[in-house]
Amino acid sequence: MLSNTYKNKRVVKLLALLALISGFVPFLAQAYTGVTVVVSAETPVNAEFVESFKEALASGKNGRLRVKVIDLQEVEKLVVAENSELVVALGVKALEAASKLKHTTPVLGVFTPLPTYNNLLVSSKRVLGNFSAIVLDQPYTRRMALIKTVLPDVKNLGILLGPTSSQDSELLKDIGEKNTLNILQENVTQEADLIPKLQKLLDSTDALMAIPDPLVYSRETAQPILLTSYRHQKPVFGYSQSYVRSGALAGVYSSTKQLAQQAAEIAIKSQLAPSLLPPPQTPKYFSVMVNYQVARSLNIQLEDEDVIYKKMLGLETVE
Amino acid sequence: MVNFRHPALLIWLLFVNSQLAIAEEAVADSAGEKNVWPLAVAAQSLTEDDYLGEVPKVLTVSRLSQSLADAASAVTVINRETIRASGIVDLPEIFRLVPGFYVGTNAGYVYNTNHTVSYHGMTTAYSGAMQVMINGRSVYSPLFGGVNWSELPLAIADIERIEITRGPNAASYGANSFFGVINIITQNPSDPAGSSVIATHGEERNEVFYRNAGKLNNLNYRVTAGYRQDGGLDNRNDFKRTRMLNAQADYQVNVKNGLEFEFGLADGARGEGNINEDNIVFLPRTKQIDNHYALMRWRHNVSDTSDFSLQAYHSYARSDDQTTSVNILPLLPAFAPFLAVDRLHIKNEVIQKRTDIEAQHTFSVGNNIRTVWGGSIRRDSMYAPYYLASKKTDYFDLQRLFGHVEWRPSEKLTFNTGAMVEHNDFTGTDISPRASINFKPNRNHTFRLGISSALRTPNYLEEKFQDRLLIPMTLPNPLGVNALVVQFRANKGNVNPEQIISRELGYMGKIGRLQLDVRAFSDRINDVIRFDGRTDFTTPVNTFLLNPLLDIEADSANNMGSAAVEGLEWQANWAFSNKTKLMFNHAYVHIRETQPDLKRNFVNSMPRNTISAMVTHRFDKNWDASIAYYQTSETTLLGDGDPVDLIRKCDVRLARRFNGRNWNGEVSAVVENLFNNHYQEFADYNTLERLARVNLRLDF
């Protein structure tokens, strides 16, 4: 079994509370016959998701689910779908719109960061059983496994936390301990502190693990963070394909197809009990991406992505 | 300070402020359009775009440097921390911490008193055997060769790191990358954002710099302005007062394209003239200097494996030196009745300009081959009526084509090969090739075997100088002479470039906390350019040459003989702990002339042994200290240099940091030459003394 339970204590508490409340809500919904995919825009990624999702449903045993795609402009259609459909919302805006549907309509968010999902869960006052998500965040255990796999010598791992990611501070320390990594962290509360704190961190760590936070890691800060780390000759482990392409050493990510596969599995599994969606989960299937140019420049010798992936798969299975 | 370049500063501020307004509007617009949930949530939330959206490629193929283990030459990297710990206030001083380097304070007494920086000898006051670049812009001067360090519009505080290639690297940097290459890289414009004031006060030294850096939408910028006052050495008229302004900006147009801008100004006054050397004509005086430059670079990320850049820059350097001699009538009694003037007025204005355009394409093929190739065109112009004996501006054109390939057939082997073909107005078309092989038995050890060749183009001093004194005569005299001439240089021209063929064996290793870099080298220098007296030159018609009477030789540069430079140098970086670090350098350089009895030979133009070391220690969060030690054995330097004895120099620095709510500060004290109150460096006219100074830095 792949490790896909999310371990954030605060979220777990919140989820438990909400699950308790949801227990008192009578099940009104019936087995659904179709899935409505809500997209915020017609992008190639969304199109690829829909395509892969349909394929995955078709290959399922008892899956004969209709798939309908609507975009955000057609909000009125959402109302039509409300009672009998599973709504798969692609992206934050789509999930935000879907969260305003009748509370009995099961909604599954895809392409959504966990902190944003949590915010929407709270602000929409929905219950867990019919508001779930496959978040974009890879489990920290998996991310640290990658670090240990490619750089077994890393002892001190630096993390730079912002207002959003700082809630994971304790969790990161715990998981670090399990992976024999000493986590050194700096908290950034204002943009001006970013580089000074990063420099402080780089002086004492062997590598840096980037953790998504709007203040710390964004398109704008990618350049100073990656350049500063590179000047210190310290590798950065990214959280997305584009971050690795931009200049991180390596990262785990889930492809659109992999996320679609997981979404299809959830759709099939919960078809008969629409209000019992599984709890929000991290991506089940993943890929490894390595920036060999960066590795070479840092004089780090790395194996093929496939080899690294297989080693990591071995680790997750053992767990 | 206050009235310094008002218009430029104003334009900059206007530009910056208008960007700010645009940035604010943009934010307001997008908020109005995209506000799909309560603002409190929106402002703080991550979206799928943070994970799936495109991030501009930061470490592009061209930004990624070769790992030192793959590099074709020995490279020393001096970072900000080392610069800070060394406590230097003059940039060239830092090169004392590079193995094989010689640094001489205030060398020379013509044109400008300036630091001389050389590697492996042939040291003159203007050491022109090294290429020096700042962010890819060559600051090598074609006049005397070398760099006028004190005139660079560059603040030490803005430097991110300095990469020093020890050994010729003409294949990458072109001619004059002869003994080595110094590449100074400044900080990213907005790194770190905020304002700083840096002030230094000490004996013979006062400096203040202000810098402001920030980010406006996609524009990162930094502006640094400063004033530097250097009293110079005690017994010399070598003071320097410099005002400077430097601005850098980069603008990310979109994920694939970025633009970079640089702009700098430096001007001020310089003490000039050494009474011990010349008490008749070039007397102690004050001259004005004026420098500026502008650079623009377009970076285009073609693909994940390919980058293109196009840069253009223009630089301008003016030196306005006017001098009046003592009364010459008593000195030339025989001619006195016929002389038109009793004092000579010499106007020695020099204007150097450079325009350079360079295109470069970097790409990798598969995971094992990386290539960079490109070309450039340059025009240098030189207006120097006194030196060139012509009021015409002289032009020097240069065209280049270069290529370099790195091939890694396996993790253990790296081959580097490259060449540059260049054509210039002085020496025609030349080619400089190189090749090296790096063997890495494992990640911690690298052996390198390399051969490389480079050329040094003769500079104006060696190719075109015709400087002379003209003493006008009034009376129509029976000899038909209307002026007397004292000729200093009478270059024949057509000097061939000096050629170096360098062979080296290098080792780089990491043993626990110790990092070692060892280089054994054997260089052969052919067609060495030397000055030699000449009599077969002609002076203007109706003049009379005084040289024979005054026993002054007129010199012309020629290619004569060859020299061999051999030796061993090593650098050790040892981190005893996280708090205590040692850097140790030693070079043994042996120079031989292959042809005996040549005038001004090179044998002693480099100390046989140079040693430098620095220990840094951090006591706690706030206190740190460092001790630096420099030693050079006795040497006889060329071009304005004299025999000097063994030198031992020791500098200490103590610093304390302070932290406030919204500011950070550091106060440091430096004592230079702690144990040595009098010694001569470069020449006997340079006496260095113990100096102390205090430095304050405030970031807010």
Each residue's pLDDT tens digit, B146-195:
899 999 999 999 999 999 999 888 777 777 788 889 999 999 887 778 89
Query: Quick check: is B487 in a domain?
Result: no
- What would you measure as the largest C-alpha separation in chain B, in angstroms? 102
Dist. CA A196–CA B377, nearest whole Å? 40
Of A164, A218, A297, the CB nearest to B66: A297
CB-based contact B55 A246, cutoff 8 Å: yes
Q: What is the pLDDT of residue B15?
A: 39
Name chain B contacts of A136, Cβ cutoff 8 Å. 48, 51-52
Report the residue of chain A nearest B305, measured CA to CA.
A293
The stretches of B389-542 forming alpha helices (DSSP H) are 460-463
Number of domains in chain B: 2
Residues B303 and B253 in one domain: yes
Question: Does pLDDT of B8 surpass 50?
Answer: no
Cβ contacts from A onto B, under 8 A:
144
The stretches of B489-631 forming alpha helices (DSSP H) are 547-550
Question: Does pLDDT of B83 surpass 70?
Answer: yes
Residues B98 and B128 in one domain: yes
The torsion angles phi and psi of A232, rounded to 5 degrees, stand at: -85, 0
Query: Quick check: is B426 in a domain?
Result: yes
Burial of A74 (0-12, 13-18, 19+ CB in 10 A): exposed
CB-based contact B59 A297, cutoff 8 Å: yes
Q: What is the pLDDT of residue B170?
A: 77
Q: What is the pLDDT of residue A69?
A: 86
Q: What is the pLDDT of residue A13?
A: 52
Contact A3, A139 (CB under 8 A): yes
Name chain A contacts of B578, Cβ cutoff 8 Å. 204
Interchain contact A112–B (C-beta under 8 A): yes
Q: Which helix (H) or strand (E) holds A230?
A: helix A219-231
Interchain contact A286–B (C-beta under 8 A): no
CA distance B50 to chain A (A): 6
Q: What is the pLDDT of residue A31?
A: 65
Q: How many CB atoms lie within 10 A of CB A3?
A: 16
CB-based contact B59 A226, cutoff 8 Å: yes
Each residue's pLDDT tens digit, B504-546:
999 999 998 899 999 999 999 999 998 889 888 888 888 889 8
Dist. CA A158–CA A184, nearest whole Å? 5
Q: What is the pLDDT of residue B48?
A: 86
Q: What is the pLDDT of residue A53?
A: 93
Return the ∠ at Cα A134 (arms to A263 and A244), rounded to 5°: 110
Question: Does pLDDT of B679 surpass 70?
Answer: yes
Q: What percent of chain B has pLDDT over 70?
A: 93
Query: Quick check: is B508 in a domain?
Result: yes
CA-based nearest residue to B187, from B152, B144, B158: B158
Interchain contact A239–B (C-beta under 8 A): yes
Residues B39 and B74 in one domain: no
CA distance A145 to chain B (A): 20
More confident residue, B654 or B279: B654
Residues B12 and B60 in one domain: no
Each residue's pLDDT tens digit, B606-631:
899 999 999 999 999 899 999 999 99
Residues B302 and B350 in one domain: yes
Report the residue of chain B nearest A200, measured CA to CA.
B621
Name chain B contacts of A226, Cβ cutoff 8 Å. 58-59
Q: What is the pLDDT of residue A25?
A: 44
Residues B36 and B84 in one domain: no
CA-based nearest residue to B319, from B288, B293, B354, B283: B288
* Paired tokens of B344: 């000579």
3-state SS of A233-289 is CCCEEECCHHHHHHCCCEEEECCHHHHHHHHHHHHHHCCCCCCCCCCCECCCCCEEE
CA-based nearest residue to B633, from B614, B606, B651: B606
Q: What is the pLDDT of residue B388?
A: 94
* Paired tokens of A16: 């438990």
Q: What is the pLDDT of residue A3?
A: 41
Residues B16 and B109 in one domain: no
Q: What is the pLDDT of residue A63?
A: 58
Q: What is the pLDDT of residue B177?
A: 82
The reply to whether A140-253+286-318 shares the fold of A9-136+256-269 is: yes
CB-based contact B44 A163, cutoff 8 Å: yes
Query: Quick check: is B373 in a domain?
Result: yes
* Paired tokens of B147: 């760099």
Q: Binning pLDDT at 50, 70 and 90, where does residue B23 land?
A: very low
Of A91, A230, A246, the CB nearest to B57: A246
Q: What is the pLDDT of residue B19?
A: 38
Report the residue of chain B nearest A304, measured CA to CA.
B367
In a mutational test of the B interface, the residue from A223, A253, A290 whose CB has the highest number of chain B CBs within 10 Å is A223
Residues B360 and B253 in one domain: yes
CA-based nearest residue to A65, from A126, A106, A97: A106
Of A113, A226, A297, the CB nearest to B51: A113
Q: What percent of chain B has pLDDT over 90?
A: 55
Q: Binning pLDDT at 50, 70 and 90, where does residue B293 land?
A: very high
Question: Does pLDDT of B18 surpass 70?
Answer: no
CA distance A149 to chain B (A): 17
Report the residue of chain A nearest B258, measured CA to CA.
A223
ipTM of the complex: 0.84
Total residues found in chain B within this entry: 700
CA–CA distance from B520 to each of A193, B437, B446, B569, B633 (Å)?
45, 15, 14, 6, 20
CA-based nearest residue to B282, from B343, B352, B350, B351: B343
Q: What is the pLDDT of residue B124?
A: 82
Q: Binning pLDDT at 50, 70 and 90, where does residue B333 land?
A: confident
CA distance A316 to chain B (A): 23
CATH number of A9-136+256-269: 3.40.50.2300
Each residue's pLDDT tens digit, A118-143:
999 999 888 888 899 999 999 999 99
Q: What is the pLDDT of residue A318?
A: 57
Which residue, chain included where needed, has tokens 């230094």? Answer: B200
The H helix count followed by the E strand count for chain A is: 13, 11
Q: What is the pLDDT of residue A22?
A: 47
Dist. CA B225–CA B210, nearest whole Å? 5
CB-based contact B38 A213, cutoff 8 Å: no
Q: Which helix (H) or strand (E) holds B345?
A: strand B345-365
Task: Report which residue type is found at A107.
Answer: V
Question: Does pLDDT of A301 surpass 50?
Answer: yes
Query: Quick check: is B137 in a domain?
Result: yes
Each residue's pLDDT tens digit, A217-275:
877 788 889 988 998 899 999 999 999 999 999 999 999 999 999 999 998 888 777 67
Task: Report which residue type is found at A151.
Answer: L
Residues B581 and B436 in one domain: yes
CATH assignment of the domain containing B138: 2.40.170.20
Q: How many CB atoms lie within 10 A of CB B388?
A: 19
Q: Binning pLDDT at 50, 70 and 90, where does residue B236 land?
A: confident
CB-based contact A112 B48, cutoff 8 Å: yes
Residue ranges of domains in chain A: 9-136+256-269, 140-253+286-318
Dist. CA B376–CA B309, nearest whole Å? 12
Q: What is the pLDDT of residue A48?
A: 94
Query: Quick check: is B476 in a domain?
Result: no
* Paired tokens of B605: 């133009």
**Facing residues of A253 across strands?**
A287
Mean pLDDT of B39-49: 61
Report the residue of chain B nearest A110, measured CA to CA.
B48
Q: What is the pLDDT of residue B28?
A: 35
Residues 6+ apart with CB under 8 A from A288: A146, A250, A251, A252, A305, A308, A309, A312
Dist. CA A82–CA A101, nearest whole Å? 7
Of B35, B53, B71, at which residue does a domain stop?
A: B53
Which domain does B45 fall in, by range? Answer: 1-53
Q: What is the pLDDT of residue A274?
A: 66
More confident residue, B397 or B336: B397
Residues B153 and B235 in one domain: yes
Q: What is the strand order of the sheet A207-209 is part of?
A: A182-187, A156-161, A207-209, A236-238, A250-253, A287-290
Q: Binning pLDDT at 50, 70 and 90, where does residue B29 land?
A: very low
Contact B550, B486 (CB under 8 A): yes
- CATH 1.10.1200.10 is the classification of domain A140-253+286-318: no
Of B46, B443, B578, the CB nearest to A214: B46
Contact A162, A213 (CB under 8 A): yes
Question: Does pLDDT of B478 surpass 70?
Answer: no
Q: How many CB atoms lie within 10 A of CB A85?
A: 24
* Paired tokens of B257: 């394209």
Of A119, A204, A297, the CB nearest to B65: A297
Q: Binning pLDDT at 50, 70 and 90, where does residue A183 land?
A: very high
Residues B49 and B70 in one domain: no
Strands B257-272 and B240-254: antiparallel
Q: Binning pLDDT at 50, 70 and 90, where does residue B643 land?
A: confident
| Helix A305-318 / helix A140-150 crossing angle, nearest 10 deg | 130
Dist. CA B683–CA B637, nearest whole Å? 8
Query: Quick check: is B535 in a domain?
Result: no
Interchain contact A113–B (C-beta under 8 A): yes
Q: Binning pLDDT at 50, 70 and 90, where does residue A24 land?
A: very low
Mean pLDDT of A11-28: 47
Mean pLDDT of the residues in chain B: 87
Residues B367 and B405 in one domain: yes
CA-based nearest residue to B644, from B673, B678, B600: B678
Q: What is the pLDDT of residue B246?
A: 97
CB-based contact B46 A164, cutoff 8 Å: yes
CA distance A61 to chain B (A): 31
CB-based contact A296 B304, cutoff 8 Å: no
Specify the pTM. Answer: 0.83
